Amino acid sequence: MSHYSYIAFIPLLPLICFLILGLFGRKYFKTFSGTVGTFSTLISTLLSLYTAYQYFFIEGKVNGIFRNITALKYTWLQFSPNFSIEMGILLDPISVIMIVIVSFISLMVHIFSLGYMKGEERFATYYAFLSLFTFSMLGLVLSSNIFQIYIFWELVGVSSFLLIGYYYENPPAVAASKKAFIVTRFADLGFLIGILMLAFYSGTLDFNTLIERLTSTQSPEFIQISSATFLGVSMLTWGLVLVFIGGAGKSAMFPLHIWLPDAMEGPTPVSALIHAATMVVAGVFLVARLFPVFSIDFTAMQIVTWVGSFSALFAAVIACTQTDIKRVLAFSTISQIGFMMFSLGVSKYGGENGLGYTGSMFHLFTHAFFKSLLFLGAGAVIHFTHSNDIKELGGLRKMMPVTHISFLIACLAIAGIPPFSGFFSKEDILIAAYHSSKLIYGIAVCTSALTAFYMFRLYYSIFWSKDFHNHGPLHGEGTLSMKIPLIILGICTIFAGFVPVSSFVTSDGAPLESHVDLAFSAFPVLMAVTGILLATYLYKTQNNRPQVIASSLGNIYKTVYSKFYVDEIYLFITKKIIFNSIGRPAAWIDKNIVDGLMNFLATTTENISALIKGLQSGKVQNYALYFFGGIVGLAALFIYLLK
Amino acid sequence: MTLTLLILIPLLTALAVLLCKGLKQVRTVSLIGITAQFIFSFILLYVYWKGRASGNSSQFLFELNYTWFEPLKIHYHIGIDGISLSMILLTSFVVIAGVLVSWTQEFLNKEFFFLLLFLSAGAYGYFISLDLFTLFFFLELAVIPKFMLIGIWGSGKKEYSAMKLALMLMAGSALVFVGLLGLYFNTSLNGEHSFDLVEISQMHIDAGIQNIFFPFAFIGFGVFSALFPFHTWVPDGHSSAPTAASMFLAGISMKLGGYGCLRVATYLMPDAAHHYSPIIILLSTVAIIYGAFVTMMQKDLKYINAYSSVSHCGFVLLGIGMLTQTSINGAVLQMVSHGLMTALFFAAIGMIYSRTHTRLTKELGGLLKVLPFISTVFVIAGLCSLGLPGFSGFVAEVTVFMGSWENPDIWYRLATILACASIVVTAVYILRAAGTAVMGPITNNHYQHLKDAKWNERLAAGILVTGIVAIGVAPFWLYNLITPDTEYIIQHLGKALTLK
Amino acid sequence: MSEISITHILFVSTALFFIGMYGLFTRRNMITMLMAIELILNSVNINFVAFNKYLYPGKLDGVFFTIFIITIAAAEAALAIAIIINLYRSHHSIDVEDASELKY
C-alpha cells in the first residue's frame, strides 16, 4: 500500500497551494502567485503521468485485465461498525486517465492564465481558486467511496461558483455564479438521495463493495434492492436515476443545462478548464464509475441514452444560432457531453459490447484537449479584441496566426475529420450507437453534421468574414505563456486520437481491439464535410445569406435563438411558483399567523389585565369599601352558606 | 479535574470586571478570564481523552456530588460525558469570539461584559449539571442576562424583542419545570424522590406517566431550540440583539434547548420519546422546510441568519426525533456546527453593520472590494451554512440524513427527503444574500472609505473558522468523542422498546 | 336603677360603627376620615367593655384590650396626621381624592 502514497500528493499539492495562496497570497505573493500555482500543478501533472505509467504498464494488469487498486484508505466517519465514509484513492483505468487529463489541462490553463490574467487585482485569489478546483477535481476522480465523490462533487461545484463569480462586481457574473450553483445543487439533491438509497440497500459506501454487491444477482443486497419498489419502480432504478440526475446536473444535460451557457461569464481560461474539459464531464465520469450497476438496469440505461442523445441534438441546434463565441462553445460542450452520455447508455458491460463505454471515455479524453484548446483560443481572441460577439469579429487570421491555426485544428477535430483526434473517438461512439439503435445513430450523425457546421460558422466568423476594425492601439497576439498552451494543446489534439485508449479503458478491464472501419466512417465524415462546406458557403465571406435563411425560418429561428425558452420556463417556475407561491405565503404565515398567535397571547393577557386593573383605582375609600364588602361577603358565606 | 472551575472562572472574571474602571481594563480582564476558560476547556478535553483512553468507561467523568438542599434531595451533582464536553468546547469558542467582537463596546461596558460572562457561567453550569434541579437553575441563570443584553444594548425594536424573548423562554422554562417535577415526583428511591439524572435513568418510570410529562419537557426545551411553532422569538430576538449577544443566543442558548431535549426529555423518558417521535419529526421537518422558505423572503441579514437558524435547528430536533444512533450523533454534531457557524455569521453581520450601519441586503453591495476580510468571513459562514464539504455543516447534516434514512418507514423517509431538499433552498437564500450584499457593484459611495477588520475581529473570526474547519475536515475526533455516550442513549431507548 | 340591657349598648356601638363607616366612605377630608376611624375603633371598644362586663364579669381581658386599642389608636392618629401633613405639603390639599397616584 505504502508505495502508492505519493498519489495522495497529486490532489494534495494543489490543496496546499490553495491554502498558501488563499491565506497569504494577497499580501505576500501578489505577482508571484501564478508561478506558485503553476509549479504545484506541474508537479501534480508529472506525478499523474508517472502514476499512469505505473498503472498502465507495470502494476495495473493482472491476467490481462486492469484491476481496481485501492491505493489509500482512511476512515473519515464511522457511522456503525460496518458502515463508514472512507477517504481513499481508487486506481482504475478511468480514474488514472482522468487524473492525467485534469492535471494536464489544469497545467495548460495555469500557464495560459499567467498571460491572460496578468495585472488583475485579485491575481492571487484567482490562482488560489484554480488550485482549489484542481484539488477538488482530482479528489473527485480518485474517490474510492461514493460519499467521497459527493464531497468533492460539492467542492468542485463551489470552486466553479467562485470562479464564475470571479468578476464579482459585474452583476451578470454574480447571477451566473448563483445560477450555476443552485441548479447543480438541485441536481445534487437527487444525487444525495440516490446515494442514501444505494448505500442503504447495499450496506456500504465503498465503490468496489457496492458494485460487487449490486451486480451479483444472487446477493441478498441485490434481491432486496430490486424487489423493493416505490411507485411501481424498483429501488435500484430509483437510486440510479437519482444518481444520474446529479450527474446530469453537473454535466449540463437537458433540462438541467441552463447554467452552463451563463457560466461563461467567468474568466475564459476558467471556462476552458471547468466548463469544458473537466468538471462538466464529472457526470459522465460518475455514470462510468457506476457503470457495472447501471448496465444491469435497463430503465436507467434508457434514461441515460435518451437524455444524452436529446441534449446532444438540442444543444447543437441552439449552437447554430448563438452569436457569443463562448456561448457557442458552451452549447457545443453540452452537445459533446451528450455524445459521451448516450454512448455510455447504449453500451453493455463487457467485451465488444462495451465499445460504447470505451468510446465515451475516449471522447472524454480527446474532447478535453480540443475543447480546452477552443476555449483558450477564444480566450486569446477575446483578450486581443475585447469582444466576444462574432458579429463584431472577423478577419483575425493574419493578426493571430498561432491562435488561428490551433483553432482550426480544434474545429477539425471536433467536426470529426480524420486524422484529428475527434474522429477516432466519435467513430467508436457511432459504431456503438449503430449496433444499439438506428434512431440514436441517426441523431448522432445529424448532430455531428451540425457540430461541423456551427464550429466552422464560428471559425469563419472570427477569422475570415469581414475585416477586423480595431479602434484601440494594436498589441501583439498575446504573451508567450498564452501561446505555449495553444501549441501544446494543438499538438495533443492532432495526435490524441492515436492513443490506443481502447486497450486501456474498457468496461470490464480487458483490452479491446481498436478498429477503424473505413466503410462505416465514410458516411459520418461525409456529413461533417457537408456541414463544413455549408458553413464555408454561408460565412466565409461577408454576405446576407445567413440573414435570408434566418428570416425565412421566422419563428423557428427565433425559438432556437432564444434557446427554446428553457430559461424563461425556469424563471417562471422560480419567480412565480417558488418565490411567490411558496416563499411569500410562508413568510406571511410566519409573520401573521405563527408570530401573530404569540402576539395574540401577549395582547390577550394585556387586555385582561387592562380590564381588571380598574379595581386598583388608587382611591383609598374604594379600597375600604371593597374591604368591608369582603368582610360582609365572607361573613355571609360563613354564617349562612357554610354552617 | 474540578469541573466547578468552569463555572467559577467566568463568575470570578465577571466579579473582577465589576471592580474595573474604563473600557480598557474591563476588556483586558474579560479577555484574560475568557482565555483562561478557553484553555481550560482544552485541558478538559485532553484529560477527558486520556481518561477514556486509559479505559475509564463510566458514563460520566469527573463526577462530583454535593448535597445542596437535603429535604428536597437537591444535589449539586456535576460530571461530563462526550456530549457535554463538545457543548463546553462550543461554548468556549463562542464566548471568546463574542468577547473579542465586543472589543469596542463603549456604552455601559462594565455591565455588558459582566452579563456576557455571567451568561457563559450559566451555560457552562447547565452543560455540566447532572442534577435536574441544578440544570434548571443554570438554565434560568442563562436566560435573564439575555433580556438585559437585548433590552439595553440592542437596536431596532429592542424592548419588544427583549420582552418577547424573555417571555417565550420563560414560558419554555415553566414547561420544562413541570416536566422535571413530573419526573421528580414519579421517581422513588427507598421511598424518596430524586432529581438525579443518573439515578432517574436507571429507574423505570411508567410509560403512561412519561407520555404525560414528555411533551412538557420536550416542548419546553424545544422553545429554546426554535421548535416550530414556538420559534418566533428567534428572528426578533437575534436581530435586535447586539452582535455578541446574537452570537451567544444562537451559538449557545439555542443549544441549551437541543441538549435538554436530548439529555433530559429523550434520555429520561425513552418510552415517550418513541411514542411522540412522529410528532417531533413532523414539527422539525416543517421547521426545516418552512424556515428555509421564510428565510428566502427576508431582506435583513440578521433576519436571514435567524430564520436559517430555525431551519438548521430543525435538523437537531429531527436527528433527535429519528431515534437512531447515527441521527442522534448527527444532532449533536449539528448543535456544535450550528453554534460555531451561526456565531461566525452573526459576527460577520455585526462587523458589516458596525461599518455600514445597515443590514438590509438591498442597501449593501460590493463589500468584497472594500472589506475583503469581512466579506470572506461572511461568504465562508454562508458556505458552511449551505453545507459545503470541508466545513462542519456538511458533516452534521449528512450524519443526520444518514441516520434518518436508517428508519425504513416510508413517512420517515419522506421527512428525510424533505429535509434534504432544504439544502437547495438554503443555497438559494445564502447565495442571494451573499450575491447582493458582498458581491456586485458598490452601491453606496460611503463604502469606499470603510476600514477592514481589526485584529480583534480577525482573531474572533479566525477562532470560529478554525473550529468549523476542524470539524469539517476531520469530523472523526468529535464523532468518536460523542459516540460512546449516544450509545447509552440508544441502549436506553432500545430497552424501552423491549420492555414494551 | 334597673340595669341597662346589653342590647342597648350593642345598639349604640353598632350605630357608632356604621356612623364611622359612613363617615369613612363619604368624607373627602382626611382629618374627618381619621375621626371616622376613631369612631369605629371606639365602637369596638364599647363592645369589648360591654361583653366583658356582661359575659365574664370576673375577668378583665376585655378592658385590657380596650386599653390596647386606645393606645394603638393614639399612635395611629399620630402617624396618620403625620402622613396627612406631609401630603398637605406635597399636594396642598388634604382631600383624599387628590391623593390617588398609587394605582395601577
Strands A229-230 and B74-80, bridge-based pairing: unpaired
**DSSP secondary structure, B273-322, as one string:** HHHHHHHHHHHHHHHHHHHHHHHHT--BHHHHHHHHHHHHHHHHHHHHHH
Place of cell 499538438: A491
Return the higher-pLDDT residue of C98 and C103: C98
- pLDDT tens digits along B24-33: 888 899 999 9
Which of A79-93, A506-520, A574-588, A615-629 is least confident? Answer: A506-520
Rg of chain B over CA atoms, in angstroms?
21
Q: Which residues of A touch C (CB under 8 A)?
A: 613-614, 616-621, 624-625, 628
DSSP A234: E
- Measured in degrees and rounded to the nearest 5, phi and psi for residue B167 equal -65, -45
User: Quick one: average pLDDT of B452-473?
Assistant: 90
Q: Which helix (H) or strand (E) holds B64?
A: strand B61-69
Place of cell 427507598: B190
pLDDT over 50 at B315, yes or no: yes
Q: What is the pLDDT of residue A470?
A: 62
With contact defined as beta carbons under 8 Å apart, do C55 and C46 qualify? Answer: no
| Contact B/C (≥3 CB pairs under 8 Å) | no
Return the higher-pLDDT residue of A375 and A65: A375
Q: What is the pLDDT of residue B365?
A: 80
- Cβ contact B421–A177 (<8 Å): no
pLDDT over 70 at A316, yes or no: yes
Amino acid making up residue A212: E
Q: Does A175 touch chain B (CB under 8 A)?
A: yes
Which residues, in sequence order, are bridge partners of residue B78?
Answer: B64, B129
Q: Does B394 touch chain A (CB under 8 A)?
A: yes
pLDDT over 70 at A584, yes or no: yes
The pTM score is 0.88
Q: What is the pLDDT of residue B499?
A: 58
**CA geometry: angle at A175 spanning A173 and A177, to 5°?**
70
Place of cell 445569406: A545
Query: Before A419, cis peptide (omega within 30)?
Result: yes
Nearest chain B alpha carbon to A86: B476
In this prediction, residue A1 has a pLDDT band, given cuts at 50, 70 and 90, of very low
pLDDT over 50 at B217, yes or no: yes
With contact defined as beta carbons under 8 Å apart, do B224 and B257 qualify? Answer: yes
Q: What is the pLDDT of residue B498?
A: 65
- pLDDT tens digits along A343-379: 888 888 877 777 888 888 888 888 888 888 888 888 8
Amino acid making up residue C32: T
User: Quick one: average pLDDT of B68-80?
Assistant: 87
Q: Does B174 touch chain A (CB under 8 A)?
A: no
User: Quick one: average pLDDT of B34-60?
Assistant: 88
Return the higher-pLDDT residue of B32 and A419: B32
- pLDDT tens digits along B419-440: 988 888 899 899 888 888 888 8
In this prediction, residue B89 has a pLDDT band, given cuts at 50, 70 and 90, of very high
In this prediction, residue A516 has a pLDDT band, given cuts at 50, 70 and 90, of low
Give residues 271 to 300 of B whose Cβ lies within 8 Å of A: 290, 293-294, 296-298
- Cβ contact C104–A613 (<8 Å): yes
Rounded Cα distance between C94 and C98, Å, is 8
Q: What is the pLDDT of residue A514?
A: 64
Rounded Cα distance between A377 and A268, Å, is 9
User: Quick one: average pLDDT of B98-111?
Assistant: 87
Q: What separation, in Å, do the N-terminal and C-terminal C-alpha atoms of chain B show? A: 40
- pLDDT tens digits along B1-28: 688 888 899 999 999 988 888 888 888 9
Give the three-state DSSP class for A311: helix
- Cβ contact B435–A583 (<8 Å): no
Grid cell digits, residue A393: 469579429
CA distance, residue A72 to nearest chain B CA (Å): 17
